[in-house]
Amino acid sequence: MKIYISADMEGVGGIVHSDQTDSSHPEYQRGRKLMTAEVNAAVEGALQGGATELLVNDSHGGMRNILIEELHPDAILLSGATKQFSMMAGIDRTYDAVFFTGYHARAATSFANLDHTWNGPTILQNAWLNNVEVGETGLNAALAGYFGVAVALVTGDQTTCAQAKELLGADLETVAVKEALGRAAAKNLHPTKAHALIRDAAARALASRKKRAPFTFKSPITLRLALARSSQADRCLLMPNVKLVAPRVVEFTHEDYAVLYNAFRALMVLADVHV
């Protein structure tokens, strides 16, 4: 049984501030240890649940956060960037289930640590797929769904878990490792406790994975992005087939979600302008 883990950082227990996820800040070195330990808990649970192959995709920032020397030896680590499909690099039809660890709520969410969607809130304010508001959980779950693979476990703060269940189904296994009281404050479980919960949930998730349907959208699929500034929308319009549908709001439609996902990433590069 092959398991794919996309590991982000903002939703890791003990992490509440961007200093802890920013590689130029001294607090980051502890953040990456906490991240690696949560991934290990998910790997251990997956192995208990019957996993025989595990790919861990480092999905935060420059994607060189996980400490390979501290990673569970049964996992393969995909690290670094730029890589096709980014936070979902390496996903294909051969996987049996996907886990999202350390995930965070979508942009413009209250009571959610470091809520954002891809680039920070100074660039992207909201994103929708066929009128369903999505963050990274939705965008990435839909790419897993494109390959016929369902998400079986999401970990992060309580709001991330609630958003994931709303989108992917109430029966989704989630672990809230912290209760966010705001964008940069949370009540955190001790790592020992959080790891035990993640381990148990990962094992349970694989026991019930066959009941879960892949997350997909009816084709053609329209991606709508609300940018923070008009200049960012101007730059998105440089890409063929992108339409301005309201001030600062652009749309791109395609029948193939993999193409749309790549287009989204290109738009995020184009939109990275602060004038």
Q: How far is the CB of 241 from Zn ion (least distance, A)?
A: 29
Nearer to Zn ion, 22 or 92 (CB): 22
Sole binder of Zn ion in the list 5, 7, 8, 42 (CB under 5 A): 8
Nearer to Zn ion, 10 or 133 (CB): 10
* Residues from 10 through 69 that contact Zn ion (CB under 5 A): 10, 60
By CB under 5 A, tell whether 195 contacts Zn ion. Answer: no
Q: How far is the CB of 159 from Zn ion (least distance, A)?
A: 15
Scanning 5-13, 40-48, 123-131, 171-179 for contacts with Zn ion by CB under 5 A, the matching segment is 5-13
Residues 6+ apart with CB under 8 A from 89: 57, 78, 83
Scanning 7-15, 181-189, 200-208, 243-251 for contacts with Zn ion by CB under 5 A, the matching segment is 7-15
Nearer to Zn ion, 60 or 224 (CB): 60
Nearer to Zn ion, 83 or 204 (CB): 83
Scanning 4-12, 74-82, 255-263, 265-273 for contacts with Zn ion by CB under 5 A, the matching segment is 4-12
* Residues from 234 through 273 that contact Zn ion (CB under 5 A): none
Peptide bond into 220 cis (omega under 30): yes
Decide if 2 contacts 52 (C-beta within 8 A): yes
Nearer to Zn ion, 44 or 115 (CB): 115
Decide if 130 contacts 142 (C-beta within 8 A): no
Nearer to Zn ion, 9 or 233 (CB): 9
Cα of 244 vs its chain's centroid, Å: 27
Alpha carbon distances (Å) from 246 to 121, 126, 243: 18, 13, 9
Q: How far is the CB of 96 from Zn ion (least distance, A)?
A: 25
Q: How far is the CB of 151 from Zn ion (least distance, A)?
A: 17
Alpha carbon distances (Å) from 68 to 33, 42, 65, 79, 242: 10, 15, 9, 9, 40
Buried b (16+ CB within 10 A) or exposed e, 203-240: bbbbeebeebebbebeeebbbbbbbbbeebbbbbeeee
Decide if 66 contacts 56 (C-beta within 8 A): yes
Nearer to Zn ion, 6 or 248 (CB): 6
240: left (phi over 0), alpha (psi -120 to 50) or beta: beta
Tell me which residues touch Zn ion (CB under 5 A).
8-10, 60
